[in-house]
Amino acid sequence: MIFGAALTAPGLAQRAVRGPYALKIEGLDMQAHVELYRADERSLQLFYPLAFSSTRISVLREFYEAWRTGLEKMDFSKLEVQGRIDWLLLRNRAVGALASLDLDERRWKEMEALVAFAPGIWRLEESRQRVDEVSGRDAAGVLLNSLKQVAELSVWLNKGEGKKPSATIAMRASRLIEDMELRLKLWYGFYQGYDPLFEWWVKDPFEKFSRSLKDYSVLLREKGAGLKKDDKDTIIGDPVGRTAIEAQLRQEMIAYSPEELIGIADREFAWCEVEMKKAAAEMGLGADWKAALEKVKGLHMEPGKQPAMIVRLAAEAIEYVTKKDLVTVPQLARDSWRMEMMTPERQRVNPFFTGGEIISVSFPTDRMTHVEKMMSMRGNNEHFSRATVHHELIPGHYLQRFSMVRQRPYRMLFSTPFWMEGWALWWEMLLWELGFPRSAEDKVGMLFWRMHRCARIVFSLRFHLGLMKAQECVDYLVDRVGHERENAAGEVRRSFEGSYPPLYQAAYMLGGLQIRSLHRDLVKGGKMTNRKFHDTILEGNTMPIEMVRASLTGTMLERDFVASWRF
């Protein structure tokens, strides 16, 4: 069976080896289909790395459409449970990728007037990637013309006449120019020293244009986005809007509206607040849970002592889940996790721990100001860390990563934060229920993170829907959850200026709630043991939790499946 249509990449006429790319697979082996898709997609994304380039969008759109069409031609009725899950996951992946290209096109149109010279520069890089015969004279002409356009745009911005771009679009354009500058250096370096005639023509225009890009990027930040020189604190995110949020909810197989999800977060937050008041009362502070939170923040380790605490907390969590037979923890997994200390620069966007194979520990360094040091210690105190360590290591992310490369690794193509972060958050819920917190202070630490994840749903969705600004999100975390202000700013910066997709922050709590619903049905319902339940989720590898549900229950899904689960 020929799987997918022939794919011809535009502009490859001068290459010795050129399209069409024939995608051919025999039979119904869905794992083989997924592996082929993953390899081909990676090749195309590496060859066409320019995010907003029309060439890249055109080629990838053709690729995803070919796979979507090819999947529809398969005999779905002959697939078993896991094969049907893989088929639906792969179709979902292609459809979601097409929606992402639509978002790229919309974002490009919004900033096109600010970077109208970009396509000409992209064509130079795309020509180099194809190893076309280069004309130094022509390349110099492109650079000089682009230099003129940048100069005109700079004058327009400086004059302040006419309708100005929003801060969001100006920052998006500034970041695009920074990326363009790096890629232009790679383009020039490819020929420099190897092609004397090229350098004769191009050297001066290249140097002038590179300087102009630097200046224009700064101008966009200062005049367009309204940032002062060297301002590293103001957060300007890039909300995607309702259409993109709804498309991503469909891709994650979440059958709720954004407003319904915010309502879920509010209800979960109310539960946390009740439990916080109980813990505060145990500490002799009445119902003043914010006073309890302040007391717990002061119970931090002294400088230099944090790593030893992490090792102790990791051992406690591993012993606890093993003794209660909650999940299989291979000996190699116990022995092979690693630790690193997070730099001050990383702590600006990751004020708390991150994990996986390596747990990165946030704690003060001698390069921080005194205020920054205190906020870092208070935000990573022992009782906050008690939940963070098992979230990042075992039974959380490290156990996930350990399993993912060993069981159905081809499904890593379908990675989703609802599985990755939802799993780790679910363990916080389960361990709370089983009595893992030893004291009222431990309860406050665990509840802080539960409240934090509820707040993430609220502020991230409202931001991307255009209902909250970045600074309002920071204030919300400080006032509603009790964050240190620097840590709250780092959290919001991480959410909106990093590489995280729009639903990532909402996925922690929502994914955890999905797994909790499955646990109630299957484990508390007497159909599975805790260990079997958790081991089976790991064996299935990463995918939307609705597909985990089908895998656990052995449901024979139909090809017209649409997410409808109300968890």
Q: Taking Cα atoms as reference points, which of 458, 456, 454, 455 lies closest to residue 495?
A: 456
Q: What is the mean pLDDT of residues 529-535?
A: 98
The number of residues in the chain equals 567
Determine contact, residues 253/416, Cβ cutoff 8 Å: no
Tokens 């400086």 belong to residue: 158
For residue 443, what are the contacts with CB-CB under 8 A and spacing of at least 6? 275, 278, 279, 282, 432, 437
Residue 19 predicted with pLDDT over 60: no
> What is the sign of the dihedral through the CA atoms of 227, 230, 232 and 237?
positive
Spell out the long-range contacts of 175-181 with Cβ–Cβ below 8 A and sequence spacing 24 or more: 176/51, 176/52, 176/111, 176/115, 176/118, 177/115, 177/213, 177/216, 177/217, 177/220, 178/217, 179/51, 180/115, 180/118, 180/121, 180/213, 181/210, 181/213, 181/214, 181/217
What confidence category does residue 413 fall into, taking pLDDT thresholds of 50, 70 and 90? very high
Query: Looking at this protein, which amino acid is placed at residue 398?
Result: Y
- How sure is the predictor about 25, in pLDDT bands with cuts at 50, 70 and 90? low
Terminal-to-terminal C-alpha distance of the chain:
39
3, 83, 244, 543 from 415: Cα distances, Å: 23, 17, 19, 6
Please give the mean pLDDT across all residues of the chain. 91
- Identify any residues that bridge with 7 across adjacent strands, giving them in sequence order: 21
Residue 17 pLDDT more than 90?
no
- Whether 198 shows a pLDDT value over 70: the answer reads yes
pLDDT at 65 over 60: yes
φ, ψ dihedrals at 381, nearest 5°: -70, 170
Three-state secondary structure string covering 213-246 = HHHHHHHHHHHHCCCCCCCCCCCCCCCCCHHHHH
Residue 502 pLDDT exceeds 60: yes
Query: Are 240 and 462 in contact, with CB atoms under 8 Å apart?
Result: no
Asked if the bond preceding 330 is cis, omega within 30° of 0, the reply is no
pLDDT of res. 48 = 94
Which single residue is written with the structure tokens 């990637």? Answer: 129
Average pLDDT value for residue range 297-326: 89
d(CA 542, CA 408): 9
In degrees rounded to 5, what are phi and psi of residue 360? -100, 120
What span, in angstroms and rounded, lies between the C-alpha atoms of 438 and 441?
A: 8
CA separation for the pair 233, 21 (Å, rounded): 47
Q: What per-residue confidence (pLDDT) applies to 12?
A: 39
Average pLDDT over every residue of 517-522:
98
Instruction: Mark out the alpha helices in 306-396 (DSSP H runs).
Output: 306-323, 331-336, 344-347, 370-379, 382-392
Cα distances from 524 to residues 174, 268, 424, in angstroms, run: 53, 21, 20
* 346 has pLDDT over 80: no
CA 491 – CA 508 distance, rounded (Å): 14
How far apart, in whole angstroms, are the C-alpha atoms of residue 247 and residue 286?
A: 45
Q: Tens digits of per-residue pLDDT, 360-377?
A: 777 777 777 877 777 777
Token match 């607040």: residue?
Answer: 273
Average the pLDDT over 141-149 and give the result: 97
- The tokens for 461 are 């969705």
In percent, the amount of the chain with pLDDT more than 90 equals 77
Can you give the pLDDT at residue 522?
98
CA 158 to chain centre: 36
pLDDT tens column, 96-114: 999 999 999 999 999 999 9
As a whole-number percent, the residues of the chain with pLDDT over 70 amount to 94
> Residue 26 has what pLDDT?
62
What's CA 248's distance to the chain center, in Å? 13
Residue 2's pLDDT is: 33
Least confident of 417-426, 481-490, 525-534: 481-490
Domain ranges of the chain: 30-111, 134-224, 244-549
Question: Residue 309: its pLDDT value, please?
Answer: 87
pLDDT above 60: residue 486: yes
Q: Which two tokens stand for residue 506?
A: 């909402």
Please report which confidence band the pLDDT of residue 121 belongs to, taking 50, 70 and 90 as the band edges. Answer: very high
Query: For tokens 């029309």, what's the residue?
Result: 54
Q: 60 vs 46, 47, 95, 383, CA distance in Å?
A: 11, 11, 12, 47
> Average pLDDT of 441-462?
96
Please tell me whether the peptide bond between 196 and the residue prior to it is cis, using omega within 30 degrees of 0.
Answer: no
List C-alpha distances in Å: 68 to 6, 208, 231, 453, 542.
13, 46, 45, 35, 21
Is the pLDDT at 343 greater than 90, yes or no? no
Tokens linked to 435: 């009595």
* Residue 16 pLDDT class (50, 70, 90 cuts): very low
Q: Residue 511's pLDDT is what?
A: 98
Q: pTM for the complete prediction?
A: 0.90
Q: Give per-residue pLDDT as tens, 254-263.
A: 999 999 999 9
The pLDDT score that the predictor gives to residue 349 is 62
Q: In 3D, which of 144, 136, 146 has the Cα closest to residue 199?
A: 136
What tokens does 34 get? Answer: 């997924």
- Please give the average per-residue pLDDT across 80-87, as a whole number: 97
Distance CA 405, CA 413 (A): 12
**Least confident piece of the model among 4-18, 324-338, 344-358, 412-426:** 4-18
